[in-house]
Amino acid sequence: INHKAETKVVQDTHHAAKKSHDAKNTIQIHLTVDGYKKVFYSKRMRVKKGANAFSILKQTNLKISYIPGPSVYVNGINGLKENDVKAGSGWMFSVNKKFIDHASNLTKLKSGDNVRWYFTTEGY
């Protein structure tokens, strides 16, 4: 028996129950993170109201590298970094299938939003 795994399940269940209790302060979104020819993450999530495209990415437990500041710049997810595949390749994101041309930490989300982070080799 893997006691570590059992403990984690119990903790996750307790955490989920607490989150549903705070339903008034949360929204539900769907997040997909598409790496180069591989999906790193795809899940419906309940997050705090006021969440943004960057804050939800940080909640995935994926390894993220970024340049902090007033406008956060994500340059790597799960070890896949800008220019890894070819010059100009890198991470972009969309909300409800619309390309967003400003920083992810400035992109507030609303309930029902579908957020997709994707690695592009085409520059868009």
Domain boundaries, the chain: 25-120
| DSSP H or E stretch at residue 93 | strand 90-95
Phi-psi group of 7: left, alpha or beta (phi > 0 → left; psi -120 to 50 → alpha; rest → beta): alpha
In this structure, CATH architecture of domain 25-120: Beta Complex (2.170)
Residues 98 and 113 sit within 8 Å (Cβ to Cβ): no
Which pLDDT belongs to residue 7? 35
Closest C-alpha to 115, from 61, 34, 49, 50: 34
Which pLDDT belongs to residue 14? 36
Chunked mean pLDDT (size 10), the chain, 124 residues:
40 41 85 96 97 97 96 96 94 95 95 97 76
Sign of CA dihedral 82, 85, 107, 23: negative
